[in-house]
Amino acid sequence: MSVPLTLLGLLEREPSHGYDLKRDYDTWFGRDKPLPYGQVYATLSRLARDGKAIAGPTEPGEGPDRRRYAITEAGTSDVERWLSEPTPPEPHLQTVLFAKVVLTLMLGRPPDRYLDTQRAAHLQRMRELTALKERGDLMDTLLADHGLYHLEADLRWIDHTAARLDMLAQAVRQ
Amino acid sequence: MATEPATIIEARAVVKSFGQTPALRGASIDVRPGEIVAVMGPSGSGKSTLLHCLAGILVPDEGEVWFAGQRLDTLRETQRSELRRDRFGFVFQSGQLVPELTAEENVALPLLLGGTRRAAALREARAWFDRLGLGGLGNRRSGELSGGQAQRVALARGMVTGPQVLFADEPTGSLDSVSGELVMSLMTRTAREQSTTVILVTHDARVAAYADREVIVRDGTVSSLTGAVPSSGTAQ
């Protein structure tokens, strides 16, 4: 799960204070695992240091959350690249797939192309694992099957999500 | 000197409706000799209709189907039927075997219908039994075979004439996962050995993973997932 890229994606939607970013992240992506404040601020500092985000002026008030962060052009390019490229297909990437679909919708981009690109990458990986089964021994087959079943589950999720895009788009824009 | 054609079979902007229902709305695909192509898509997308048009079982309302450099869709039904018998092979989801015949006779049937003498046809059928691990089952009838065995017999029957193109429509749809895997492994292995082109309709990604590439049928047209032209990519 790429926390920096996900936070950048949320910043691209609108400049935010760390508190608001954490709240949005937790709402959409952190249901089982809310993001600690410390991690939010550390990530924002690093993004600012690397030129992907820029911290606004210190605002009056108490506590650490007194700067509003905005995304830079470099940050926008990073998000664009991340959202248009497929994630290397392997088991347990459900959270990343989900984050990409939600952010794509939030930022008003068409998700269909991304979903198709991801489907193609998954099918290519499934072809490789199937070829491995054809030439490997029983252990290779068992391991390959584990990967194949997970990839198939991802593809089913992608199909199901594709069927719900309109509903999801509405929910995300509220 | 004859050169190998770039495309063995193709559909060009095929339109096909059933009554008011459009199944294909300008579907195009071209397949290179020896390729194994998976045709995927949701249920109702038109993928089986595309297979039937490519195989000359259905005639499109518009568009063209070409096989080995010749128009297929404008042939008379008797000519298309001959082509299907002599140069194409078929594996469907189930129900293909003639229940009154033995497994061996089922496999020999396309050869017999094509004029091969009985002894030679049965000899060829038996060779396929050995190749597909069906030894000893030749005299059984379809009701006495397991689902996986019956599909392997169907595969043998599909391949026995040495077809140029094998059309498979959800060939493992009725099978458990292990039998399904065996059928797909045998199908693709023998197709590659015989340089048979395979057009495989499936909604199942694990089945499609046995092919060289996939195309997707959606709303009656064909596309490739990466946005590239859904052809074998050879120059026209």
Task: Please calculate the CA angle B54-B56-B57 and round it to the nearest 5 degrees.
Answer: 110
**Confidence bin at B116 (pLDDT 50/70/90):** very high
Segment B149-207, tens digit of pLDDT: 999 999 999 999 999 999 999 999 999 999 999 999 999 999 999 999 999 999 999 99
Entry pTM: 0.83
A146 touches chain B (CB under 8 A): no
CA–CA separation, B91 vs B200, rounded Å? 9
Nearest to B226 among A117, A130, A155 (CB): A117
Beta bridge partner(s), residue A104:
none
Taking 80 as the threshold, does the pLDDT of residue B218 lie above it? yes
Domains detected in chain B: 1-87+197-231 (3.40.50.300)
B225 and A123 in contact by Cβ < 8 A?
Answer: yes
CB B178 within 8 A of CB B186: no
A141 touches chain B (CB under 8 A): no
- The nearest alpha carbon in chain A to B182 belongs to A134
Segment B133-150, tens digit of pLDDT: 999 999 999 999 999 999
B35 touches chain A (CB under 8 A): no
Quote ipTM for the complex.
0.87
Nearest to A148 among B189, B209, B212 (CB): B209
B236 touches chain A (CB under 8 A): no
Percent of chain A with pLDDT over 70: 94
CB A60 within 8 A of CB A66: yes
φ/ψ of residue B174, rounded to 5: -100, 10
CB A8 within 8 A of CB A47: yes
A35-39, B73-77, B117-121, range with the lowest pLDDT: A35-39
- The nearest alpha carbon in chain B to A153 belongs to B205
From chain A, pick out residues whose CB is under 8 angstroms from the CB of B205: 122-123, 126, 151-152, 155
φ/ψ of residue B31, rounded to 5: -125, 135
CATH of A1-83, one of 3.40.50.2300, 1.10.10.10, 3.40.50.620, 1.20.1260.10: 1.10.10.10
Beta strands in chain B (DSSP E): 9-18, 21-31, 36-40, 62-67, 70-71, 88-91, 165-169, 197-201, 213-218, 221-223
